[in-house]
Amino acid sequence: MTGFGLASTDYQNSKFAVEIKSLNSKFLELSLKLPRAFSDKELLLRNTCSKEIERGKVSISVNIERSDDTQKGATINTALLTKYFKQLEEINNSLGANSTNLLQTALNLPEVITYNEEEVGENEWDVLHNTFKLALTNFNQFRIDEGAVLKTDLELRIKNILAFFAEIDQLAPLRVPQVKARLTQFLEETVGKVNYDQNRLEQELIYYIDKLDITEEKTRLKSHCDYFMETLKSKDANGKKLGFISQEIGREINTMGAKANDAHIQQLVVGMKEELEKIKEQLLNVL
């Protein structure tokens, strides 16, 4: 959800510039900085952003640079300032005070300084609005380009998980004879080769094999990964949906790790978890 868009337009003796930046956020948090002359247009611009930008902590700055001959400044009422200053000076002397900031005090008194309201025409609003829309277009294009990069990276992470999954799928069946061999060796060393019940051993093996079975987890993991890839190709905003799918992928990986009972499989599970964490980090940038 990070993004950046910039646009500027020269019109007569002024330059209109709009900058849009965004960071990750679960919701749309909009901060809009407008010149005072266009403050009445704030609601319109906010409504436009709500339609065009779905999520993100968005900061929009609108600036107008005027040439020197068109600058609107403040006006100081010299006569009123002089009157205030003399009155303050008389009071200061009569009280025997030693104030050195009489001028600053006089400047802060009512109506000494008046600010000239900047007048703008309808044509200037049209220029600013078009500049805003251009910046918004550049902003969305930035997000689209970033999204294409994210899509490629997410596809790679899922493929890496499936590659680890393929290795686990080959190693999983080899655990059964290993478990049988360990149990048989343990019984032979503790009670002797002829002193244990072979049928009971088979029952115990069935129990352990059932506890180690990850067939369901493998099936669900493959299904979740396929669904993730399918959702990733959709043109709709599916960032939250992909987040939910990644949680389901994580559950299956954790269960496989708990049932692994094999050092090599555990290493592959760690690799899958690492790829999944990278996916979760990237999903923060997906709408």
More reliable by pLDDT, 26 or 162:
162
| Rounded mean pLDDT, 118-122 | 63
pLDDT at 256 over 80: yes
Question: Tens digit of pLDDT for each residue in 123-139?
Answer: 888 899 999 999 999 99
Domain segments of the chain as ranges: 3-70+130-141, 74-115, 145-283
Query: Among 14-28, 42-56, 142-156, 196-210, where is mean pLDDT lowest?
Result: 196-210
**First and final C-alpha spacing in the chain:** 6
| Rounded mean pLDDT, 16-45 | 88
pLDDT at 144 over 70: yes
**Residue 22 and residue 139 in contact, taking contact as beta carbons nearer than 8 Å:** yes
| Rounded mean pLDDT, 249-259 | 91
- Positive or negative, the CA dihedral 98, 104, 107, 108 is negative
| Rounded mean pLDDT, 12-41 | 87
**Residue 34 and residue 62 in contact, taking contact as beta carbons nearer than 8 Å:** yes
d(CA 181, CA 13): 89
Side-chain half-sphere of 19: how many Cα atoms within 13 Å? 6
Question: Tens digit of pLDDT for each residue in 61-86?
Answer: 999 887 755 555 567 888 888 888 88
d(CA 185, CA 206): 17
pLDDT band at 189 (very low <50, low <70, confident <90, very high): low
Give me the pLDDT at residue 197, please.
63
Angle at 239 between CA 138 and CA 24, to 5 degrees: 60
d(CA 285, CA 24): 6
Calculate Rg over the CA atoms of the chain.
Answer: 36
Look over the chain and give the mean of its residue pLDDT values, rounded to a whole number. 83
More reliable by pLDDT, 23 or 161:
161
Helix/strand/coil for 109: coil
For the purposes of burial, counting CB atoms within 10 Å of the CB of 39, is it exposed (0-12), middle (13-18) or buried (19 or more)?
Answer: exposed
Chain mean position to CA 30: 14
pLDDT at 54 over 90: no
pLDDT at 116 over 60: no
d(CA 2, CA 139): 9
Question: Tens digit of pLDDT for each residue in 195-242?
Answer: 656 666 667 666 667 677 788 888 999 999 999 999 988 877 688 889
